[in-house]
């Protein structure tokens, strides 16, 4: 991506690496995550205004410890090390890191040594978030301590003759009360960034990049009707005009009347061509008898590509397939940025076939959901599109754990519609990041009209989140839950029990599969 100024984040495997990028971007500076072992030449080519070394699960003194190219300290670019990053800096410059006598996980309170550049306007005693089992026990020569906590006498350091800094805590997480201030200080006081990265500048940069990459070739845009694909389609049309051919596929895994609504709303609001393909029978045939969630995702991914390859033949200029893939999708699917663990395969990332006839264009591959919403607003997309809850590419296939059948999907569709209807009636829709029903592969005994029933269990899920990387369960009012349960059991044949999911992410994921 062609960005005037950027901060480079080297990923050493921390669960918080993505949050660093989000916080930096919130400050108005573009942040880009790369593997820890990116070459010195590549770094110079990116010309970062500053470099941040993320945390990580390893010990710097272990044989398996990831290490960056040490040329980063000779580039004249400010460096900030976070947790593992601090320990890398200390070890490189001759300090000593050892297992901590007392490991530290959770809240701590920081004491700042004077009004320092990195810690300017960070109050003494403010809360920070710790997550480390090793500690810096011997300072490297030429460094000074600029903050400590009760358990960490060396909590933040800086090099006296160069812009190299390190903190033992995680300023990027919400629990570090003034963490964003620290990052702001690094960006503007130390790296001398100008700021100004926002949805409008992203649109300008993405438009130039899309035009340069695609040229005069055609793009098939996979339009699901969700936030990501809708914003992607409008952005691509903004960049390429009639070179974009939108296709909506009803895969039989959509919510009730979803496809009809997508076609009507899109044609009403946007002057773009859109073709409709009913492929529900094909998807359900391929999914028959399959229960493993990873297999479901791969089957769905392959089926989508088969259809798009076929549809693309109708357009002589079509060489590209556009998708609304987001950064969290990529992070959870593959360790492309660093030593992160694969959680699950997203059908539009790891679920794609190795060989396909269309080249991929994914303008939001480095963005988070809230950033895509902001881009959509800047493109004047109506709020009814922008504010929609996320809907997974594999659709309801991953909301019916176990085998996917037409009967189970129809039952789920009815329950899901009632659930969302009650959320809207209660005025809670925009307070929730994502809400959906799940049809469990479990049947339980019930009593209806003095008769014994043995029917499905419906699980209800609602979470609050900012970017989908972490989430908490939504505290649904009891009276609303009661109405939901009553309506679902009374109106949906095949369900006799309703449960509410109160799991956070982590340890659970938002979707059940």
Q: What percent of the chain has pLDDT over 90?
A: 52
Q: Let me know if 172 is a catalytic residue.
A: yes
Q: What is the mean pLDDT of residues 461-484?
A: 92
pLDDT of residue 103: 62
Q: Quick one: how far is CA 326 from the chain centroid?
A: 6
How do 495-500 and 451-464 pair as beta strands? Answer: parallel
Q: Let me know if 174 is a catalytic residue.
A: no
Q: How confident is the model at residue 466 (pLDDT cuts 50, 70, 90)?
A: confident
12-26 as b/e: b if 16+ CB within 10 A? bbbbbbbbbbbbbbb
Catalytic residue among 34, 170, 347, 456: 170
Catalytic residue among 5, 172, 422, 455: 172
Q: Let me know if 458 is a catalytic residue.
A: no
Of 17-31, 94-108, 218-232, which has the strongest mean pLDDT?
17-31
The CA-CA-CA angle for residues 77, 83, 85, to 5°, reads 35
Q: What tens digit of pLDDT does each residue of 427-455 get? A: 999 999 999 999 999 989 988 776 788 89
Question: Running DSSP on this structure, what letter comes out for residue 187?
Answer: I
Sign of the alpha-carbon dihedral angle for 324, 329, 330, 334 = negative
Higher per-residue pLDDT: 310 or 420: 420
Question: Running DSSP on this structure, what letter comes out for residue 140?
Answer: P
Of 90-94, 387-391, 488-492, which has the strongest mean pLDDT?
488-492
Q: How high is the mean pLDDT of the chain?
A: 87
Q: What tens digit of pLDDT does each residue of 395-430 get? A: 999 999 999 999 999 999 999 999 999 999 999 999
Instruction: Please tell me the pTM assigned to this model.
Output: 0.71
pLDDT at 346 over 50: no
Higher per-residue pLDDT: 214 or 388: 214
Higher per-residue pLDDT: 268 or 8: 8
pLDDT of residue 166: 94
Alpha-carbon gap, residue 357 to 310, rounded angstroms: 10
pLDDT of residue 254: 93
pLDDT of residue 343: 37
Of 212-226, 386-400, 476-490, which has the strongest mean pLDDT?
476-490
- Phi, psi at residue 140, to the nearest 5°? -70, 150
Q: What tens digit of pLDDT does each residue of 150-188 get? A: 778 888 999 999 999 999 999 998 888 899 999 999 999
pLDDT at 1 over 70: no
Helix axes 199-214, 369-378, angle to 10 degrees: 90
The CA-CA-CA angle for residues 58, 59, 62, to 5°, reads 100
Higher per-residue pLDDT: 4 or 251: 251
Alpha-carbon gap, residue 56 to 183, rounded angstroms: 19
How do 451-464 and 472-473 pair as beta strands? Answer: antiparallel
Alpha-carbon gap, residue 57 to 15, rounded angstroms: 9
Alpha-carbon gap, residue 392 to 326, rounded angstroms: 11
């Amino acid at each position: 991506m062609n960005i005037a100024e950027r901060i480079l984040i080297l990923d050493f495997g921390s669960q918080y690496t993505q949050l660093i990028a989000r916080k930096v971007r919130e400050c108005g500076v573009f942040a880009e995550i790369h593997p820890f072992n990116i070459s010195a030449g590549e770094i110079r080519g990116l010309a970062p205004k500053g470099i941040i070394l993320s945390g990580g699960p390893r010990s710097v003194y272990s044989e398996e410890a990831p290490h960056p190219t040490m040329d980063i300290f000779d580039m004249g670019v400010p460096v900030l090390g976070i947790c593992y990053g601090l320990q890398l800096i200390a070890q490189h410059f001759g300090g000593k890191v050892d297992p901590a006598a007392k490991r530290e996980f959770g809240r701590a309170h920081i004491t700042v040594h004077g009004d320092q550049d990195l810690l300017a306007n960070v109050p003494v005693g403010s809360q920070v978030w710790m997550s480390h089992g090793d500690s810096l026990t011997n300072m490297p020569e030429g460094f000074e301590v600029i903050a400590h906590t009760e358990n960490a006498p060396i909590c933040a350091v800086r090099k006296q003759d160069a812009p190299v800094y390190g903190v033992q805590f995680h300023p990027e997480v919400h629990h570090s009360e003034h963490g964003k201030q620290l990052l702001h200080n690094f960006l503007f006081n130390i790296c001398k960034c100008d700021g100004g990265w926002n949805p409008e500048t992203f649109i300008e940069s993405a438009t130039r990049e899309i035009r340069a990459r695609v040229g005069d070739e055609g793009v098939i845009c996979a339009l699901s009707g969700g936030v990501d694909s809708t914003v992607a389609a409008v952005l691509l049309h903004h960049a390429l005009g009639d070179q974009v051919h939108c296709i909506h596929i009803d895969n039989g895994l959509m919510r009730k009347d979803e496809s009809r609504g997508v076609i009507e709303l899109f044609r009403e609001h946007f002057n773009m061509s859109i073709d409709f393909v009913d492929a529900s029978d094909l998807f359900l045939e391929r999914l028959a008898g399959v229960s493993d969630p990873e297999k479901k995702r791969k089957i769905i991914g392959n089926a989508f590509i088969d259809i798009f390859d076929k549809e693309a033949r109708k357009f002589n200029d079509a060489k590209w397939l556009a998708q609304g893939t987001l950064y969290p999708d990529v992070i959870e699917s593959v360790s492309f940025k660093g030593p992160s663990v694969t959680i699950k395969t997203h059908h539009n990332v790891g679920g794609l076939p190795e060989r396909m006839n269309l080249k991929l264009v994914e303008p939001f591959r480095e963005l988070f959901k809230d950033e895509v919403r902001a881009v959509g607003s800047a493109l004047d997309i109506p709020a009814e599109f922008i504010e929609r809850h996320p809907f997974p590419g594999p659709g309801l296939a991953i909301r019916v754990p176990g085998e996917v059948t037409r009967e189970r999907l129809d039952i789920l569709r009815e329950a899901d519609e009632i659930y969302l209807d009650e959320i809207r009636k209660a005025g809670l829709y925009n307070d929730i990041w994502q809400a959906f029903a799940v049809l469990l592969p479990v049947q339980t005994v019930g009593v209806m009209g003095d008769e014994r029933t043995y029917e499905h269990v419906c699980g209800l899920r609602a979470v609050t989140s900012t970017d989908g990387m972490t989430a908490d369960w939504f505290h649904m009012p009891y009276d609303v839950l009661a109405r939901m349960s009553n309506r679902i059991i009374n109106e949906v044949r095949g369900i006799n029990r309703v449960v509410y999911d109160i799991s956070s992410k982590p340890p659970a994921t938002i979707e059940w599969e």
